[in-house]
Amino acid sequence: MRWLRWMLLALVVLLGWLQYRLWLGNGGTRAVEELDARVVQQRRQNEGLEQRNAALAAEVADLKSGEAAIEERARNELGMIKPGETFYRVVDDERVPPPGMAADEEDAGDAP
């Protein structure tokens, strides 16, 4: 009978050790949850990068296919114009504070 008690004690200790490894040990459920969260984050990042790559590939294809895309890019990014065209710049009519006056001083001067 004594050996039965020792066997039961050994099995309980083994069960406790296995439960510890399952819940808290290396490769346990906590580690698996952390890895799942990292996988989800990496998938989101990959989707964003895939969209960026697709946009860049489309832009490269446009630039290779014709001059219209090159012309549009030169006009927008470099401000280039064709010979004979007139360039007009539209400027917003914003109130600009006089030199030497800070914006908060100007607001304080407007108060009654």
pLDDT 10s digits, 24-62: 777 777 788 889 999 999 999 999 999 999 999 988 887
Name the percent of the chain lying above pLDDT 70. Answer: 85
63, 64, 66, 70 alpha-carbon torsion, rounded to 10°:
30
Q: Is the pLDDT of residue 111 over 60?
A: no
Domain that includes residue 28, residue range: 2-110
Rounded to two decimals, the pTM is 0.43
- The phi-psi region of residue 85 (left if phi > 0; otherwise alpha if psi is between -120 and 50; otherwise beta) is beta
Per-residue CA distances from 51 to 54, 56, 73 (Å) = 5, 9, 21
Number of folded domains in the chain?
Answer: 1
pLDDT band per the 50, 70, 90 thresholds, residue 83? confident
Sign of torsion, CA 102 106 111 112? positive
